[in-house]
């Protein structure tokens, strides 16, 4: 790819020079080479580096698997590496997790599956709709309308809390005032925001560390009585992951030629149908990648789960952390839990990988 695109770069006046000489040293070093055409020395070097790096990547996984079969004595007695050679593997940790803990393992596991998948599906669905709207529709929210909304909302909150006005009345008056503002004064203000401002606002939700927001969120869910429920975690995970989905999907949607959608529109498709039958299938690679990323983020999330769940909605990361309890870190139990925790993610990755391909748009436009 790189070699092709560089050699066909704008024709320079030095046309007599061979294509190779026109590329910079940097480009020549990093252009991809066919592995078969490498000299033996470079082949050995390449494979050495690759094997070393594979080792770096895979060793923690190996260590995890091995540790899950160790007795406490093997862990505290100093590192042992190879089962059957260094130490006699034992399934004590596995039987403890699956039989002694039993439902106390399966419940968080099921919780994690429900919460992670539900929040991811919702985040990807709503997030990609928002991203699509932001790539295809121009929004012009007026600054003064936003300011008026915030002011009126603040006034309603203050009047209900401080002056003791019933909140239904406060809300009705506030809504009426806001509509009145939109119909009258709002016309006189011209300054407005654009799509990029909206996008920035969306991503700005991720600027604060979650620990700042977690207490207010806790209080909110306490008020509505949703603490320690699946719904609470699904809602929160969906909300925190929406900005990521919007930002990733927007780039994918931007690459889809607008001609396709205009053509479908003339063929008689409604906006929703265009989105579902034209845009979404073409955004599959992006959807798959985004889905995986968001799934992993929700699956591994710890802090929000720690605050919002206690028993019924407890998730796997909490259970893993709980193994580091009064008796000190129980590495063998943790390893078992982490091994079974990794499996669904690996399965999803294997399942979705075939969608993450390039070149889906070939043949759409141009002859």
Chain positions contacting other proteins, by CB under 8 A: 257, 259-260, 262-270, 273, 278, 281-282, 359-367
Q: In the complex, what is the shortest distance from the CB of residue 350 to other proteins, in angstroms, rounded to a whole number?
A: 22
The string of DSSP letters for 91-145 reads -HHHHIIIIIITHHHHHHHHHHHHHHHHHHHHHHHHHHHHHHHHHHS----BHHH
If the CB atoms of residues 77 and 281 are measured against other proteins, the closer one turns out to be: 281
Could you tell me which of 65, 98, 95 has the C-alpha nearest to residue 83? 65
If the CB atoms of residues 123 and 249 are measured against other proteins, the closer one turns out to be: 249
If the CB atoms of residues 100 and 259 are measured against other proteins, the closer one turns out to be: 259
If the CB atoms of residues 116 and 256 are measured against other proteins, the closer one turns out to be: 256
Q: In the complex, what is the shortest distance from the CB of residue 272 to other proteins, in angstroms, rounded to a whole number?
A: 12
Could you tell me which of 132, 108, 146 has the C-alpha nearest to residue 316? 108
CB 297 within 8 A of CB 115: no
If the CB atoms of residues 106 and 139 are measured against other proteins, the closer one turns out to be: 139
If the CB atoms of residues 262 and 312 are measured against other proteins, the closer one turns out to be: 262
CB 116 within 8 A of CB 295: yes
Q: In the complex, what is the shortest distance from the CB of residue 136 to other proteins, in angstroms, rounded to a whole number?
A: 12
Q: In the complex, what is the shortest distance from the CB of residue 354 to other proteins, in angstroms, rounded to a whole number?
A: 14
Total Cβ atoms within 10 A of residue 313:
24
Could you tell me which of 250, 229, 210 has the C-alpha nearest to residue 119? 229
Q: In the complex, what is the shortest distance from the CB of residue 353 to other proteins, in angstroms, rounded to a whole number?
A: 18
If the CB atoms of residues 102 and 257 are measured against other proteins, the closer one turns out to be: 257
Q: In the complex, what is the shortest distance from the CB of residue 221 to other proteins, in angstroms, rounded to a whole number?
A: 42
CB 185 within 8 A of CB 142: no
Q: In the complex, what is the shortest distance from the CB of residue 260 to other proteins, in angstroms, rounded to a whole number?
A: 5
Long-range Cβ pairs for the range 144-148 (8 Å, 24+): 144/185, 144/186, 144/189, 144/191, 145/181, 145/182, 145/186, 145/189, 146/193, 148/178, 148/181, 148/185, 148/186
CB 277 within 8 A of CB 232: no
């Amino acid at each position: 790819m790189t070699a092709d695109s560089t050699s066909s770069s704008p024709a320079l006046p030095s046309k007599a020079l061979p294509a190779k000489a026109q590329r910079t040293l940097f480009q020549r070093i990093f252009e991809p080479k066919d592995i078969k055409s490498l000299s033996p020395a470079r082949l050995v070097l390449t494979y050495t580096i690759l094997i070393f790096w594979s080792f770096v990547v895979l060793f923690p996984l190996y260590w995890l698997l091995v540790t899950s079969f160790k007795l406490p004595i093997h862990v505290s007695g100093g590192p042992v590496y190879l089962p059957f050679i260094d130490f006699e593997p034992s399934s004590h940790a596995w039987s403890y997790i699956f039989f002694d803990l039993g439902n106390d393992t399966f419940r968080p596991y099921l919780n994690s599956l429900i919460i992670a998948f539900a929040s991811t599906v919702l985040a990807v669905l709503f997030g990609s709709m928002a991203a699509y709207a932001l790539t295809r529709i121009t929004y012009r929210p007026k600054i003064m309308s936003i300011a008026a909304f915030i002011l009126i909302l603040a006034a309603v909150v203050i009047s209900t809390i401080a002056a003791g006005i019933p909140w239904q009345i406060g809300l009705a008056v506030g809504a009426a005032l806001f509509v009145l503002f939109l119909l009258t004064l709002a016309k006189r203000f011209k300054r407005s925001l654009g799509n990029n401002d909206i996008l920035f606002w969306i991503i700005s939700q991720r600027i604060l560390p979650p620990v700042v927001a977690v207490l207010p969120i806790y209080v909110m869910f306490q008020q509505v009585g949703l603490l320690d429920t699946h719904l609470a975690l699904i809602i929160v995970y969906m909300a925190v992951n929406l900005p990521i989905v919007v930002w990733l999907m927007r780039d994918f949607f931007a690459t889809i030629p607008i001609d396709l959608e205009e053509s479908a529109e003339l063929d008689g498709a409604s906006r929703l149908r265009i989105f579902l039958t034209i845009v979404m299938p073409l955004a599959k690679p992006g959807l798959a990648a985004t889905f995986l990323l968001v799934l992993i983020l929700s699956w591994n999330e710890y802090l929000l789960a720690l605050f919002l769940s206690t028993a019924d909605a407890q998730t796997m990361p909490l259970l893993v952390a709980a193994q580091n309890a009064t008796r000190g870190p129980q590495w063998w139990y943790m390893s078992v839990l982490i091994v079974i925790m990794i499996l669904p993610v690996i399965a999803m990755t294997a399942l979705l990988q075939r969608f993450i391909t390039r070149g889906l748009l070939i043949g759409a436009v141009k002859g």
